[in-house]
Structure 1
């Protein structure tokens, strides 16, 4: 394969490079396969990215090499890429604004994949709006693992349902899980984070041997940390269908509640870090399990 290849993607001309470069050495998964995955998953991925400031984690030399977070649009960003200049909450570098990339069309997604932007992370709100999602991260402290995450996910689902909040599970693509909840988009991030924290603390009191709501790492051994802080204005969460930088090209994968229940009961492989090829098969069979997130939801209790 040539080192550089000019292609037309939905009316945009892109120059792709080093398509044979292996980005996942353990499996031989190449940059060309990364681009192919993101192209094929785009119909279900792009609606979850549209309108949101995108943070990327780039791995130019593969998952075993060095990586870097990238919020600012890189040098030589094509003029047709949608960018938005936004204030930076909690910037460690003292920046007042950043020119964020907004991935709302296939050519942008392919362009990012060609830059080895393997991981795609978004905030819980669209640009210029209040949060329209509440996301709760379930992080297992060893020896706890995905089985215990599933058990906590079921408890959290039922507690949120008491307040009329629907929740939709996905794997993180690494060791944990997230629950995503569509909300009204009328409340500030602090209110959303505060509600998630209250629920996490309530479940910790009810299940102290299984759940911890405090961020102190030494408290997490053998428990599931309910990370309510994902809703902070300075936080982002890995997008559904994003690749992760693991030994295999694992994906943050939407789940059914039946799969979560099976995972909680210890039935394997009901829940696992799903690889890209299996995720594409799941989408062909199930569609986008997180499509309800795009329809909005209720206000959270005060």
Structure 2
């Protein structure tokens, strides 16, 4: 069944609203759209101006999925686009028309496509669609089993101290999966990947039993991999407040440092869509610019 709706003056047609996208939780497409609509006031500032990559699950989290960067021909004309170089494109495209999610209608449009996960780079485009310099530094903390997000929190606290010495204020969030990320506003003092790699290697040298800065899987069991490479302009990271395609409708959730310091079990930092809506209502955007 298709349902015509008007969102901030834009006409959209929603479909298959009763389709369950998270079977283990009974979470439907209607609830996905509702979540993104309600979280939009705090989510949109983190998407605005950033080229979008989505991970779509048309048949739910247990079905096949695909990444989508280029906007298809059927995309509404009012969706903002930016034509940008596409190094490493799997379809050998030199350039791609990326969508830019600046408003609620665009966000609802993608939610209706079962674009559960929203991924963006650490840079924005200007009004003419030209790429700007990176404005964000990110460290992706990925635990190698049996390490968990508990160990990630320990590393996050170390990294926070190093960044503080460097004059940067770190903001933590869960990945919504098994790890977490730290963000900081970036002043372009040097190439961000080079800078992030140097800090990761420094911490690895300081705590070799806890931290690894290389992606080699055999080096990672029981340690936390500080992935500095997410600062490569061609890479993206899951956006704050984005859903993740897990068994539960978990969310990449901004945290307080008190929560990071107090984490004792992985379950302490698992937040579903309803949890996050309640957090936002109570606390606002914990991921606001520093």
Q: TM-score range by the shorter chain?
A: over 0.9
Distance 2:91 2:16 in 1: 32
Report the equivalent of 1:162: 165
Q: How far does residue 269 in structure 1 lie from its aligned partner after superposition?
A: 4.6
The reply to whether residue 286 of structure 1 matches residue 288 of structure 2 is: no
Q: Deviations over 1:128-160 (max 9, x none)?
A: 211000010000000000110000000000011
Structure 2 stretches lacking a partner, 5+ long: 126-130
1:171·1:255 contact (CA, 8 Å) conserved in 2? Answer: yes
1:137·1:178 contact (CA, 8 Å) conserved in 2? Answer: yes
CA RMSD of the aligned region, Å? 1.1
Distance 2:167 2:145 in 1: 32
Aligned 1:1-302 pairs, distance under 5 A: 3-127=1-125, 128-184=131-187, 186=188, 191-263=191-263, 266=264, 269-270=267-268, 272-292=269-289
1:135·1:179 contact (CA, 8 Å) conserved in 2? Answer: yes
Q: How far does residue 95 in structure 1 lie from its aligned partner after superposition?
A: 1.1
Q: How far does residue 267 in structure 1 lie from its aligned partner after superposition?
A: 5.8
Distance 1:57 1:13 in 2: 24
Tell me the secondary structure at the aligned position of residue 84 of structure 1: strand
Change (3 A) 1:169 1:267: same
Tell me the secondary structure at the aligned position of residue 200 of structure 2: helix
Distance 1:273 1:65 in 2: 23
Give the structure-1-normalised TM-score: 0.92
Distance 1:249 1:287 in 2: 20
Tell me the secondary structure at the aligned position of residue 112 of structure 1: helix
Change (3 A) 1:219 1:63: same
2:148·2:266 contact (CA, 8 Å) conserved in 1? Answer: no
Q: How far does residue 187 in structure 1 lie from its aligned partner after superposition?
A: 5.3
Moved over 3 A (4+): 267-270
Distance 2:38 2:179 in 1: 25
2:174·2:180 contact (CA, 8 Å) conserved in 1? Answer: yes
Report the equivalent of 1:297: none
Tell me the secondary structure at the aligned position of residue 181 of structure 2: strand
1:89·1:233 contact (CA, 8 Å) conserved in 2? Answer: no
Distance 2:234 2:84 in 1: 12
Q: How far does residue 124 in structure 1 lie from its aligned partner after superposition?
A: 0.2
Report the equivalent of 2:128: none
Change (3 A) 1:70 1:268: closer
Q: Between Structure 1 and Structure 2, how many residues are aligned?
A: 285
Distance 2:172 2:118 in 1: 18
2:253·2:271 contact (CA, 8 Å) conserved in 1? Answer: yes
Distance 2:87 2:208 in 1: 33
Q: How far does residue 7 in structure 1 lie from its aligned partner after superposition?
A: 0.6
Q: How far does residue 213 in structure 1 lie from its aligned partner after superposition?
A: 0.4
Change (3 A) 1:268 1:225: closer
